[in-house]
Amino acid sequence: MERGGCTLTATYAHPRPTPTNFLPAISTMASSYRDRFPHSNLTHSLSLPWRPSTYYKVASNSPSVAPYCTRSQRVSENTMLPFVSNRTTFFTRYTPDDWYRSNLTNYQESNTSRHNSEKLRVDTSRLIQDKYQQTRKTHADTTQNLGERVNDIGFWKSEIIHELDEMIGETNALTDVKKRLERALMETEAPLQVARECLFHREKRMGIDLVHDEVEAQLLTEVDTILCCQERMKLHLDKAIAQLAADRASQHELEKDLSDKQMAYRIDDKCHHLRNTSDGVGYFRGVERVDATVSVPESWAKFTDDNILRSQSERAASAKLRDDIENLLVVTANEMWNQFNKVNLSFTNRIAETADAKNKIQTHLAK
C-alpha cells in the first residue's frame, strides 16, 4: 500500500524505508505531511460520486450516529489533503476482464465490419458484372431487333414502291383511255347533227314526194344508234372518272404509307448503326415510359398489306374498265359505221329511184 502523502513516482523511484514500529508517531506523520504537501484548497466539489453519502443521510435521521457525522463535518476543506491514489482507485469503473472483453468485442466488430465490407464489395462487383453482361445482351438483342425491323420496313417499302409504280401506270393508262372516250364522244356530235339535218331538209319535200321511205327510216335509226352510243360512252366516262378517283385515293394512301415507311426506315437504320461512341448520344430520363405507339407489328403489317390489296383491287377494276372502254369504242364505232353505210346505201337507192322517176316524167312530157 502506498505511503500517505507520497506520489506514485516517488514511491516507485525510491526504496520504501522500513519503519521501526508498525505505526509511526503522530508527530512524525504530521511533520512529513507538512514537509511534503502544503495546505491547499480543493478545486473540486466535495460532493463526489464515490463519497459514502448514505452514512450522512442515515446519521441525520438517527441521532445515535450523529456524533460521527458531526465529527466528520468538522473537518474543514483546508485540512483535507488530495489523496490522489485514493481518488484514482475510487474512480475506477471496470475490471481487467471488462477491458479484455471490450477489446475482444471491438475486434469482433471490426472483423464483422470488414467481412461485411468485403461481402458488399464482392456483391457489388458481381452486380456490376451481371448488369454489364445483361446490358451487353440487351444491346445485342436490341441491335438484332432493329436489324430485323429495318429489313421488314425495307421489304414493305419495296412492295409499296412496286405497287405504287403499277398504280401510277394504270392511272395514266386509264386517263389516256378516258381522254380517247371523251374525244370519241365529241366526235359523235357531227354524225348526229348530219343525220338530224338530213331529216330536217327532207321535210321540205313537196306533195307526194313527202313520203316515209327507207332513207327516213335509216336516218332515224342512225340518230337512235348515235344517241345510244353516246349514252353508253357517257356511262363509261362516269365510271372512268369514279375509277380514277378511287385510283388516286389508293395512290395517295400508298404515297402516305411510303412516306411513313421511309421516315421509319431512316430512324431505325440510324438507330441500328448507333454505337456507344457515336456523336450526339445522350440519356433522356423517362423516355422508356413514353408509349406513343398506335399499333403492334401484326396490325402494322396488316395496314400496309390492306393498302396494297386495296390498290391491287382498284388497279384490277381499272384495267377491266379500260378493256370495257376499249371494247365500247370498237363496238360503237362499228355500229355507227354500219348504220352510216346503210343510210348511204338507202340514199343511193332512193336517189336512183327518184332519178328514174324524173326521167320517165320528162319522157312523158316530151311526148
Residue-wise pLDDT tens for the chain (367 aa)?
444 444 444 444 444 544 444 444 544 444 444 444 444 444 444 444 444 444 444 445 555 544 544 444 444 545 454 544 555 555 567 888 999 999 999 999 999 999 999 999 999 999 999 999 999 999 899 999 999 999 999 999 999 999 999 999 999 999 999 999 999 999 999 999 999 999 999 888 888 888 888 999 999 999 999 999 999 999 999 999 999 999 999 999 999 999 999 999 999 998 888 888 888 777 777 777 777 777 888 999 999 999 999 999 999 999 999 999 999 999 999 999 999 999 999 999 999 998 999 899 898 888 7
Per the confidence metrics, is the pTM higher than 0.75?
no
| Structural domain boundaries in the chain | 156-275+295-366
How far apart, in whole angstroms, are the C-alpha atoms of residue 232 and residue 327?
Answer: 11
> From residue 156, how far is each of 299, 301, 313 by CA, in Å?
13, 8, 18
Closest Cα to residue 354, out of 198, 168, 210? 210
| Residue 295, pLDDT score | 81
CB contact burial 339-350 (16+ within 10 A = b; e otherwise): bbebbeebeeeb
| Residue 88, pLDDT score | 52
How far apart, in whole angstroms, are the C-alpha atoms of residue 147 and residue 130?
Answer: 25
| Residue 37, pLDDT score | 44
List phi, psi (to 5°) of 200.
Answer: -65, -45
How far apart, in whole angstroms, are the C-alpha atoms of residue 22 and residue 6?
Answer: 18
Grid coordinates belonging to 196:
338530224
| Residue 92, pLDDT score | 63
| Residue 366, pLDDT score | 84
| Residue 367, pLDDT score | 75
